[in-house]
Amino acid sequence: MSIPCDDPRHVDNQYAALIRKILEKGDRRMDRTGVGTKALFGEQLRFDLADGFPLLTTKRIHLKSVIHELLWFLKGDTNIRYLKENGVTIWDEWADKDLELGPVYGQQWRRWETPEGGTIDQIANAIADIKNNPASRRTIISAWNPADIPKMALAPCHCLVQLFCTSDNRLHLMLTQRSCDSGLGWAFNVASYAILLAMMAQATGRIAGEFIHSLGDVHVYRNHEKALKEQLARAPRPMPKLRLNPDVKDLFAFRFEDIVIEDYDPHPAIKMDVAV
């Protein structure tokens, strides 16, 4: 059952508290894009999937983009052709003329290159760990590969995942994010990794537990402040529910239609410009 809208654990209330803190206490900084931000360092939020699916309701999030991007990562793909064919444009600004991004998330997740010329499938290894060595403290997936950063169109923002199995059969996932655009990227990242947690739990016979979001530089771009204040004035609505096709037991077999968000009734979307 979803928690009440006024509960401090509700995704919109945790988000609002974070945004207010950034606006009130954030350090004014210039950044790579030249837009400028207010930023905090070292924040953490926690979402138990038993409380409802952590998808913002104070503005509409484009779920098709969230789901297709995650499936694209899991395919190991780094060309945005699949995204464009499915109406997803969130990577368009960074792709080259051949629609390539370099060795970004998908390649690091599924084909991390070794010095010997081989590759490591970090996602498959994580699934095997959860099944066969659930007490491991090394169930980690890294997108941050220093050797490949210069070849990437955009260095990984959400860069490290750690998974934790409990004796009551729950699976928890912690995402460490070095840089977070709280106006645009935050909601996508939370929804994406909450879905990934649920998919990995189902694929390993476990119960999806907490998604923990550990944030390095979490910021509000100066040109997002007005829109975010409008969003903060909106009342949260009930958190939706995530439903996965129960017949899918292989993480890599999930398709778009196997992932459904039910009872999602958000406020309208709010336009914010992407800082490139």
CA pair distance 101, 97, nearest whole angstrom: 10
> Across-strand partners of 261?
242
Asked whether 180 and 143 are in contact (CB, 8 A), the reply is: no
**DSSP designation for 257:** G
Structure tokens at 9: 């654990």
CA pair distance 127, 6, nearest whole angstrom: 36
Asked whether 238 and 55 are in contact (CB, 8 A), the reply is: no
* Side-chain-facing half-sphere of 185: CA atoms under 13 Å: 20
Q: What angle do CA 145, 253, 208 make, to 5 degrees?
A: 75
What is the pairing mode between strands 241-244 and 112-113? unpaired
Sheet with 27-29, edge to edge strand ranges: 27-29, 37-48, 207-221, 170-181, 158-165, 140-142
CA pair distance 54, 52, nearest whole angstrom: 6
* Residue 27 DSSP SS3: strand
CA pair distance 119, 107, nearest whole angstrom: 10
> Across-strand partners of 100?
79
Active-site residue 165, yes or no?
no
Task: Select which of 5, 157, 159, 165 is catalytic.
Answer: 157
Q: Which residues participate in catalysis according to the annotation?
A: 157
